[in-house]
Structure 1
């Protein structure tokens, strides 16, 4: 079996929470890489855009019909997504730290991991 087939099987077996956690982890890696490279140029732009798009998708999912999350949680996720959009612009302009974006992603990923652990138990 090729590695790509294995990856496809692994991804197909993931829960939505696991997919979100994996995407947040990818955003964290990209943001840290941009930070390590001096927060400039293409690595920064690409990392910020990946993170922005991730949060756009999360917010759109929360705004869509059929989302089973409680209304207060959906509203909080949309609020965080709006903050991510604004803060990312400030990071790109050099007015804010990328560490705040990393911290938010880490906290949400930890929460998703804890939720997955509780469901598995």
Structure 2
């Protein structure tokens, strides 16, 4: 089991462009991030918490973590996936990194982006 978790932690993504995003986010692209772990939500089991390589400006705040999920049914965020469309949420309460299920009150949905594995 330990090797399996280590493998997942090695996945890095780069958000390269967005179909929908706030203007301030688009100006900060590309954004690279390291997947930390998968976290289930009430509506789907395949959300991911990711740590940004550099902070993202969000109003007066700085964002260090994102919540990502595949945009389309059947798509998966996994090693070897290539390019994928993802829903992106900013983590506004970092205690989410300790939670066992996704609490949507701790993040703010902001974008639909294309991501590539790097």
Which interval holds the TM-score relative to the shorter structure? under 0.3
Higher CA-based Rg: 1
Task: Normalising by structure 1, report the TM-score.
Answer: 0.27
Task: Normalising by structure 2, report the TM-score.
Answer: 0.28
Structure with more strand by fraction: 2
Structure with more helix by fraction: 1
